[in-house]
Chains A and B, each alone.
Chain A
Amino acid sequence: MSRLEELRVVGLSHRTAPIEIRERFALSGARLEAWIERLLEQPGVSQCVVLSTCNRTECYVAGAPSAAVGRRVARALVEEAGVPGGHEHLFRHDGLAAVQHLFRVTSGLDSLVIGEPQIQGQVSAAYREAERRTLGPSLHRLFQSALAAGGRVRSSTAIARGAASIPSAAVELARKVFGSLDGRQVLVIGTGEMGRLTVSCLRSEGVGRVLVASRSLERAERVGRDLDGIPMTRGSVREALGDVDLLVTATDSEAAFVTPGLLAGAHDEARPTVILDIALPRNVHPDAADLPGIFLYNIDDLQRVVDQTHRAREVEFEGAERIVDHHARKFWAWHRARAATPAIRALRANAQTRLETRLERTRAPGPRDADGEEARRLATRAALNKILHGPTQAIRRLAEGDDAAGALEDLADALDSRPAVPAEDRTADRGAG
């Protein structure tokens, strides 16, 4: 009989490798396809799921319970990446450790930014991709359980709540004022990197028209193309201010050119306006915050939102770990219990055969009483099921133990090889005949 498949993971992440190594190991498109083919060709690998994101490349495999499989996968992965000495950045986990690792990854507990939600989608995509090929019951159940645990962690704890980066803090603040950002108008003054990132983040939240203002119209046009925005010069800002819901300032100007006077003249106080001043020195005079309807935040405020989120997530970390551990162990018990199946099958088949034989032999001579026989058969089967319930449970419990594999194999072999009609029964038959 075949032994239970071993689960293992081989890979690297931001914890074990710097970005210049991680990018060499990153797999996508045709290269990922080719790698999966190659992985499945490795001796001892029967199923695999490959997770490749900007922070990790991990190969989850199920197959022969031999440590050599993990070494072969690691060697092939280093060859694929073409990184000399790449081994030193790889980690390998087998069995329960591999299961716990995947559950932690899916829940965002192993992420660079704890609790970040994207990883759940990335794990789900990797699983769906593998599902198209040959994904056996072990990895299928493993990934479904990991995704369920990830969902549970996010719904039962505050680990994923709040904004964990400056651009997402900007979005969070805007959302706390406007709710949905759908169709909101944005004016970004300045063409710096942070301004662009913030507007990209806002764009992904569904903001409507984006106006891009710069001292130079050419530069505004260039950035406007990237952001799918309308270019304008800084001189036209005053007219535009009346219509915008969000103002992002990110210029290298030495003076605060957005003054309370400028805003008071252009802004409708019944309509809230969120101003995100992410420039240093600040572009917006701090007194503008006193105007009704104006919500002004600078880079320090955004950083405080991020810090607050990190603190809240750290508080929740322990609870999230407990949930992950509980679900991982639950999966592991299921996985181990599968090792009991052959022994249980053999036990039941053996007992069933004996019962059928005995019933046949004790049938009274003469015409058959079909109904009576059927009733007797059903009653004895029910009794047999009751008798076997205890041993079945005992075998399952045995399978959950660490050193049960050998004992279960021996048990299944012994039950399989036992003659269907025991010797004493055969002797009795002869005597009766």
Chain B
Amino acid sequence: MLIRLLLTAALVCYALAWVLLLRGFRGRGGGRAPSLSLALGGAALHAVGLAVFWIHNRTPPLLGVGPASASLAFATAAGLLIVGRASERWTAGLLALPPIMILLAGAVWTGLSPTEPATAFRGGWSILHVVSVLMGYASLLLGSIAAAMYLLQFRALKRKEFGNVFQFFPSLDSLDRMGGIGVAVGLAALTVGLITGWSFTLTFGRGLALGDPDVVLGLVSWIGYAVALAVRASPAGRGHRAAAFTVLAFAATTVAFMSLKARDPASEFFL
């Protein structure tokens, strides 16, 4: 009950922070500083909620749809707050807060009890695997949001549309850096997650488990974002091209996720 209460309070804080950002985007109110403060408050409540889960269940909130969604939402919120501590970049919250809220609302809605496998999931190796994967997806999500914002700001600047996007979104340079860091950190974390996951399955003689939906999703994401990072590293790749490839990688990941879910709706892979 306490965990649900804390996470619901965090959700309310995030929602209010987003409403303030939306007001700012529409040219009303300053919004950014109070929005950032609210989101910080939400993240603090979110962290306490997850800590209480860990203490209460004696297992980290990593397995099971609810706990994993709540942790992924927290990793994304933490990443957003780290990059958004500069007021200008906090505007990325306009696009990043909705997925955070959806994940957290989903966690609260579906319940926050650890699943059976989770109670056996206590090895440091396994924790490293799941934490890496969650961090990876959170970082890739933020990188993709920055890339999408880059494309919108680029379009506004090229078409000379000096409206809300032009006024409210950060500079192209800032968004490009955010996108680059998000993808690089996310890809590194996802790589660690895949390697540790495979090590785990190999230990138990299950091979590379290439048919496992988690592994398929991980591989599709990894390949998509690796291509985006390679484009960014090429001589003419920074900026618009890198942003476009990052958004494509995000689209490929989303399509892969949807397809896997559609093929096997009862699958228990963590999302």
Instruction: Produce 1/0 per residue, A302-321, CB < 8 A to B.
Output: 00110010001001100100
A residues less than 8 Å from B2 (CB atoms): none
19 residue pairs from A and B, CB less than 8 Å apart: A156-B30, A158-B27, A161-B167, A162-B167, A173-B157, A176-B166, A177-B171, A177-B172, A180-B173, A270-B236, A295-B158, A297-B160, A301-B160, A304-B160, A308-B162, A312-B167, A316-B28, A316-B29, A319-B29
Complex Cα distance A7/B223, Å?
71
The contact size tier of chain B is 20 to 34
Q: Is B261 an interface residue (CB 8 A)?
A: no
- Are B30 and A157 within 8 A (Cβ)? yes
- Are B160 and A179 within 8 A (Cβ)? no
A residues less than 8 Å from B84 (CB atoms): none
Contact of B157 among A156, A157, A295 (CB under 8 A): A295
Complex Cα distance A178/B175, Å?
10
Residue of A nearest to B234 (CB): A270
Q: Is A175 an interface residue (CB 8 A)?
A: yes
Q: Is A289 an interface residue (CB 8 A)?
A: yes
Given contacts A270-B236, A272-B239, A304-B162, 10 further A-B contacts (CB under 8 A): A156-B29, A157-B30, A158-B30, A176-B172, A177-B173, A178-B171, A178-B172, A270-B238, A297-B160, A308-B162
- Are A312 and B27 within 8 A (Cβ)? yes
Instruction: Produce 1/0 per residue, B68-82, CB < 8 A to A.
Output: 000000000000000
A residues less than 8 Å from B237 (CB atoms): 270
Q: Is A37 an interface residue (CB 8 A)?
A: no
Complex Cα distance A316/B158, Å?
28
B residues less than 8 Å from A140 (CB atoms): none
Q: Is A269 an interface residue (CB 8 A)?
A: yes
Complex Cα distance A295/B167, Å?
16
> Measuring CB to CB, which residues of chain A are less than 8 angstroms from any residue of chain B?
154-158, 161-162, 173, 175-180, 269-270, 272, 289, 292-293, 295, 297, 301, 304-305, 308, 312, 315-316, 319
Residue of A nearest to B169 (CB): A176
> Measuring CB to CB, which residues of chain B are less than 8 angstroms from any residue of chain A?
24, 27-30, 33-34, 153, 157-158, 160, 162-163, 166-167, 170-174, 235-240
Nearest Cβ on chain A to B19's Cβ, whole angstroms: 15
A residues less than 8 Å from B167 (CB atoms): 161-162, 308, 312
- Are A158 and B24 within 8 A (Cβ)? yes
Complex Cα distance A316/B28, Å?
7
Complex Cα distance A310/B191, Å?
50
B residues less than 8 Å from A295 (CB atoms): 157-158
A residues less than 8 Å from B29 (CB atoms): 156-158, 316, 319
Contact of B174 among A157, A173, A179, A292 (CB under 8 A): A179
| A179-B170 contact in complex given A289-B158, A304-B160, A308-B162, C-beta closer than 8 Å | yes
Contact of A179 among B162, B173, B239 (CB under 8 A): B173
- Are B27 and A176 within 8 A (Cβ)? no
B residues less than 8 Å from A179 (CB atoms): 170-174
Nearest Cβ on chain A to B176's Cβ, whole angstroms: 9
Contact of A176 among B28, B171, B236, B240 (CB under 8 A): B171
B residues less than 8 Å from A272 (CB atoms): 172, 239
A residues less than 8 Å from B174 (CB atoms): 179
A residues less than 8 Å from B170 (CB atoms): 179
Complex Cα distance A293/B158, Å?
9
